[in-house]
Structures are given as structure tokens and as C-alpha cells.
């Protein structure tokens, strides 16, 4: 798998560094964003905020503007808070231990282990949905029988000595490009020789992927994105990003299909999460990015 990764791994910009801060930024960006888009944003981010201290000292408004296009904006606020914790409690150095990394704002078990492995070479396995699927299929034909603890133990046990960073990237690429949830490309997989799933061994009672069942699929209607609260929050933040630094934006009119009451509630929620400053004016709420 390491040889496959060295020959075909995706040349993402952030994979060229093992700097702990740069790795932490890349992992938080890639949590819920496609890797290629995260890599593009990461390059610009590292120019603007090249160090933990530069990020910690930046206004939240500037951080949120730099995060534009990545979505899930609370990650930007969490990363900013994490930078301040690193400066205040760790002397400006990203901590190396998994428990200390997990204690940072916005950092969960997967991100902590990814940073520990890639930046510090620690022999720990970063388990996300893709990695869980790859390891579960190779070892047992599927991940259904694994508890979170047993999967973590497996992931830790298979990290090659001295290759934790490359191994982490390799598993991510196998899961994203080959070992797909439906119709995995087993013939292209570097682990197919040893994989129980590829050999046709599946856990008893395993549900086949939807695409493997003739005529199957999720036919439930999905709401249009423009009707969701996530869309509304994005539009509100975009208006604040596009405004002058000091300007208060009135949010008293409907936005799209969302009425004034829904807009008011979304503004209040964003303010409570640290993504806006809000105040009540004569006609209703006003807001701007935090200073």
C-alpha cells in the first residue's frame, strides 16, 4: 500500500510538509471539504497566517473571510481558538500528544491522531469513515463487527514502523479513490490480495451497498439546499463578509425562502457561536463579523 501511494498518491499541497501547525490547518480544512478544494485554500491560508502566532493575533473577522468557500464556518472559529490555546498554554508549539491535541477546540479523535501521525510520526491510526471501511473490509470483509475501540486498536496496530505519515495518507487515498462505499474498484486496490471483502468474504448479515442491489437506491425526496438552515447561515455570513469592516448589516428582511423570523433566529445562533457580533436596532437585528 505504501508503494502504491508513493507511485500514485494525490499530490496535494499540504502533503509536502510535516510542520505541525500546517498539518493541523490542513486536517481541520479537510474535515468536511473535498481534499482538492481544501488544498487550494490551505495554500492561501498559509501565506496569510504562516504561524500559530499570526493566526492567534488575527481578528476573527479576518479569519472568517479567509475561510470563505470552505463551508462549515464554525471550523474557522474553532481553529482560531485553538491557535490562541496553543499560544497561551503551549508556548506557541502545537502539542504532540493525542490527549493534548484532542483538548484543542475543534479537534476530535481523528484529527488528533492524523496530526500526531503526520506531523510527529507517532504510530497511531487516524480513523475516519473511509479508513474504517478500508481496514474493516481487508481484515473482516466489512467494518460492521468492530466497535470504535476495536477499530482504533486495529488502526494503531497496523501502522508501519517509521512510516506513520505516509501510511495515514495512503489509507485516506485508498478509501477515497478505490475502496468506495458502493462498487469498490477491487481490481485497482493495492490490498486486494489480502482483502477478505475482495475475496467475497462478508460478515453474516451484512447489508449490500445500495448500488449492488438491482434497482435499489435512496428514492426519498431531499429538500433543495436553498431551503435549509445551512444555506441561510451561509448567506448571512456572506453578507457580513462582503460588507465594510465596521459596517452593521440589518437583517430584517427575508432571505430567499426564509422569512424574517428565521433570519433573526439564524443571526442569533451565529452570534452565540462566535461567528457574528449582533445587536438589536429599531427595526430588528443588526450584525457584523467579530472584531
Q: In sequence order, what are the residues at sequence separation of 6 or more whose Cβ sits closer than 8 angstroms to the Cβ of residue 47? A: none
Q: Is the CB of residue 245 less than 8 Å from the CB of residue 61? A: yes
C-alpha–C-alpha distance, residues 164 and 168, integer Å = 6
DSSP character at residue 258: B
Active-site residue numbers? 27
List alpha helices for the chain, DSSP H: 2-8, 20-29, 35-48, 52-57, 60-66, 74-90, 98-102, 109-120, 129-140, 148-157, 164-177, 229-242, 260-272
Angle, in degrees to the nearest 10, between helices 35-48 and 20-29: 140
Amino acid at each position: 500500500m505504501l508503494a502504491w501511494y508513493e507511485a500514485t498518491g494525490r499530490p496535494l499541497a499540504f502533503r509536502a510538509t510535516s510542520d505541525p501547525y500546517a498539518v493541523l490547518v490542513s486536517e481541520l480544512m479537510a474535515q468536511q471539504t473535498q481534499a482538492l478544494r481544501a488544498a487550494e485554500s490551505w495554500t492561501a491560508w498559509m501565506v496569510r497566517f504562516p504561524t500559530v502566532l499570526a493566526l492567534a493575533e488575527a481578528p476573527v473577522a479576518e479569519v472568517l473571510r479567509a475561510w470563505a468557500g470552505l463551508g462549515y464556518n464554525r471550523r474557522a472559529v474553532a481553529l482560531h481558538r485553538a491557535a490562541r490555546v496553543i499560544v497561551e498554554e503551549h508556548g506557541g508549539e502545537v502539542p504532540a500528544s493525542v490527549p493534548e491535541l484532542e483538548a484543542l477546540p475543534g479537534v476530535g479523535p481523528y484529527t488528533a491522531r492524523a496530526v500526531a501521525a503526520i506531523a510527529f510520526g507517532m504510530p497511531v491510526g487516524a480513523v475516519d469513515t473511509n479508513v474504517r471501511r478500508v481496514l474493516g473490509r481487508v481484515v473482516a470483509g466489512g467494518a460492521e463487527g468492530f466497535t470504535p475501540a476495536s477499530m482504533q486498536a486495529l488502526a494503531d496496530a497496523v501502522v508501519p514502523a517509521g512510516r506513520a505519515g505516509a501510511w495515514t495518507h495512503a489509507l485516506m487515498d485508498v478509501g477515497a479513490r478505490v475502496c468506495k462505499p458502493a462498487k469498490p474498484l477491487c481490481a485497482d486496490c493495492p490490498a486486494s490480495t489480502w482483502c477478505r471483502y475482495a475475496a467475497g468474504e462478508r460478515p453474516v448479515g451484512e447489508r449490500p451497498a445500495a448500488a449492488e442491489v438491482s434497482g435499489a437506491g435512496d428514492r426519498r425526496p431531499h429538500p433543495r439546499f436553498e431551503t435549509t438552515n445551512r444555506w441561510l447561515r451561509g448567506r448571512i455570513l456572506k453578507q457580513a463578509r462582503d460588507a465594510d469592516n465596521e459596517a452593521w448589516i440589518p437583517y430584517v428582511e427575508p432571505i430567499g425562502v426564509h422569512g424574517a423570523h428565521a433570519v433573526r433566529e439564524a443571526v442569533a445562533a451565529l452570534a452565540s457561536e462566535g461567528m457574528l457580533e449582533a445587536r438589536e436596532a429599531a427595526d430588528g437585528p443588526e450584525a457584523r463579523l467579530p472584531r
